Amino acid sequence: MNIQFSKDIPLNNQFDIIVVGGGPSGCAAAISAAREGASVLLIESTGALGGMGTNGLVPAWCPFSDRTKVVYRGIALEVFEKAKANMKHVKAGDLDWVPIDPEALKRVYDQMVVDAGVTVLFNTQVVSAVNTDKKIEYIVATNKAGILAYQSKIYIDCTGDADLVAMSGLSFEYGEEGSGEVQPSTQCFAITNVDEYHYHNSPFLHMNNPDCAIYDIARSEKYPLVVDPHCCNSLIGPRTVGFNAGHLWNVDSTNPFSVSEALIKGRQLAYQLHQGLKEYLPETYGASYLIATAPSMGIRDSRRIIGEYKITFKDYIERRSFPDEIGRNCYFLDVHHSIDKNEKIINGESNGEEEWESYSDGESHGIPYRSLIPKNIKNLLVAGRSIACEHRVQGSVRVMPVCLVTGQAAGTAATLACDTFDVRDIDTNNLRNILRRNGAYIE
């Protein structure tokens, strides 16, 4: 049953650009737009910036290098270096799989958006977009002050779920082509009072290491939610290990009931995994303490936009370059396995890697500006994990260094589009020159 609801609500139209979502892509978009002189409002539904890297407790950055040079530069590298400077156990030159202290990272994003002059609105959820003539006229959000409308010249959707695209009635893709299946989710967590000596000197816990204890825990059936050996982990602080471990299948991040159920199950999974670690690795985890599970569910994929250009698997394999590319990407096609394949993995017949594709040293592909432009709308850009690409490619471009790069490009492009209110009306050579001047890696 539907009901009609109408109400006079205040309209705020004082900003040039509104960025929705304060994850890596949203922060980079807001910072770059503000540095280019636009007045920017950044709306974030939680109480902290950083998205999956902070509220999601993802414990490590995906590699910043192609093993010959840094590929993700500009604001991405700035965020990364600032976050790293807070980590006393990380070497200054480390570039790949660097751990994340989530509290330090929150402060890095806070400081960078404040320094750039961005206005941040926390605890505010965007719930609707009102469109006319292929343009977003205004968006509607809710917070403690009630229901409010916000209007700007250009909007940037960095919600990770392409919420503004869906709210604007535009088409999108969801999950794998054909099946619609999304990658499993993971609720990350942190364990403290870990014995660091044994952490460093025991077989590394990882699904690629079939002799490690995670396989014993998963096979034991004593911990019924620990059904697979996915177990990335990093030392994120003194005696404290962050875990990106375990899988929850069939979580639909666009369905709040599905996410709520997953959060309850995810907290149980983290507890069971911790109990298993205590039992199977008592020297390392015997005295340890489960200090936090992520407040935000770890969603790997959901909606992807139908954009002016869709990055394809073939583009990835051919290491393709584009005349309008705004950055490069070298991360492997990291698509987490479906529930059907779990049995093979847990039986040691596969580590899931047969579906992964990765590059040799020094290789990368381009990300065209057009993959950030949703079709059939003039004043909207998308950055982060929902840019236009095939599902397998999303397994690569979804990670944080890439999201920071697409965010910076979207923020800069939005500033250029403020005069015409149309993100297609910009000179992409000019965009690329500005990005290059601001440190981006553009060949």
Ligand X SMILES: Cc1cc2nc3c(=O)[nH]c(=O)nc-3n(C[C@H](O)[C@H](O)[C@H](O)COP(=O)(O)OP(=O)(O)OC[C@H]3O[C@@H](n4cnc5c(N)ncnc54)[C@H](O)[C@@H]3O)c2cc1C
- Please, which residue, 152 or 186, has the CB nearer to ligand X? 186
CB 355 → ligand X: shortest distance, Å? 17
How far apart CA 179 and CA 40 sit, in angstroms, is 39
Residues 250-309 that bind ligand X (CB under 6 A): 298-300
Q: Is 329 one of the binding residues for ligand X (CB under 6 A)?
A: no
Which one, 40 or 195, has the nearer CB to ligand X? 40
Minimum CB–partner distance for residue 59 and ligand X (Å): 7
Residues contacting ligand X: total by CB under 6 A? 39
Which amino acid, residue 281? L
Instruction: Decide if residue 113 touches ligand X (CB under 6 A).
Output: no
Q: How far is the CB of 44 from ligand X (least distance, A)?
A: 5
Provide the minimum distance between the beta carbon of 406 and ligand X in the complex, in angstroms, as a whole number: 8
C-alpha distances in Å from residue 52, one per residue of 40, 299, 322, 358: 22, 8, 29, 23
For the CB of residue 186, give the shortest distance to ligand X in the complex, in Å: 4
Residue 45 touching ligand X (CB under 6 A): yes
Show the tokens assigned to 25.
């892509």
Shortest Cβ distance from residue 425 to ligand X (Å)?
25
CB of 277 to ligand X, least distance (A): 18
For residue 140, with 0-12 CB atoms within 10 Å meaning exposed, 13-18 middle and 19 or more buried, which class applies? Answer: middle
Instruction: From 133, 32, 129, 151, select the one nearest 416 (Cα to Cα).
Output: 32
- Would you give the DSSP letter of residue 258? H
Give the per-residue contact string, 184-213, with ligand X (x = CB under 6 A; - = no): --x-x-------------------------
Single-letter residue type at 376: N
- Out of 126, 241, 245, 248, name the contact with ligand X by CB under 6 A: 126
DSSP E strand stretches across 195-319: 231-237, 240-245, 289-293, 303-305
C-beta closer to ligand X: residue 138 or 195 = 138
Alpha-carbon distance 202 to 194, whole Å? 13
x/- track of binding to ligand X for residues 356-395 (CB under 6 A): ----------------------------xx----------
Binding mask 139-178 for ligand X (x = CB under 6 A): -------------------xxxx-x---------------
Cβ–Cβ under 8 Å, residues 375 and 306: yes
Q: Is 242 in the site for ligand X (CB under 6 A)?
A: no
Residue number, 244 or 288, with CB nearest to ligand X = 244
CA-CA distance, 181 to 399, in Å (whole number)? Answer: 19
Among residues 347, 317, 350, 349, which one has the least CA distance to residue 333? 317
Q: Does 21 bind ligand X (CB under 6 A)?
A: yes
- 400 scored as a contact of ligand X (CB under 6 A): yes
User: Does residue 61 belong to the site contacting ligand X (CB under 6 A)?
Assistant: yes
Q: Are 188 and 319 in contact (CB under 8 A)?
A: no
Q: Is 403 in the site for ligand X (CB under 6 A)?
A: yes
Q: Which of 15, 18, 24, 237 binds ligand X (CB under 6 A)?
A: 24
Instruction: Establish if 245 lies at the interface with ligand X (CB under 6 A).
Output: no
* Among 38, 6, 62, residue whose Cα is nearest residue 116: 38
The residue among 96 and 283 lying less far from ligand X, judged by its C-beta, is 96
Q: What CA–CA distances, in Å, run from 304 to 267, 355, 398?
A: 28, 21, 11
Could you say whether residue 43 binds ligand X (CB under 6 A)? yes
Residue from 23, 99, 102, 352 touching ligand X (CB under 6 A): that is: 23
CB of 187 to ligand X, least distance (A): 8
Under the binding rule (CB under 6 A), the answer on residue 182 touching ligand X is no
CA angle 105/33/85 to nearest 5° reads 25
CA atoms of 102 and 358, how far apart (whole Å): 28
By the 10 Å C-beta count (0-12 exposed, 13-18 middle, 19+ buried), 340 is classed as exposed
Minimum Å gap between C-beta 283 and ligand X is 26
Q: Is residue 411 near ligand X by the rule CB under 6 A?
A: no
Burial class (CB in 10 A: 0-12, 13-18, 19+), 41: buried
Residue 51 is a binding residue for ligand X (CB under 6 A): yes
Tell me, what DSSP letter sits at residue 230? Answer: -
Shortest separation between residue 100's beta carbon and ligand X, angstroms: 8
In the complex, the smallest distance separating the C-beta of residue 234 from ligand X, rounded to whole angstroms, is 8
Nearest to residue 294, comparing CAs of 346, 258, 365, 245?
245
Residues at the contact surface with ligand X, assessed by CB under 6 A: 20-26, 43-46, 51-53, 56, 58, 60-62, 125-126, 158-161, 163, 186, 188, 244, 298-300, 384-385, 398-401, 403
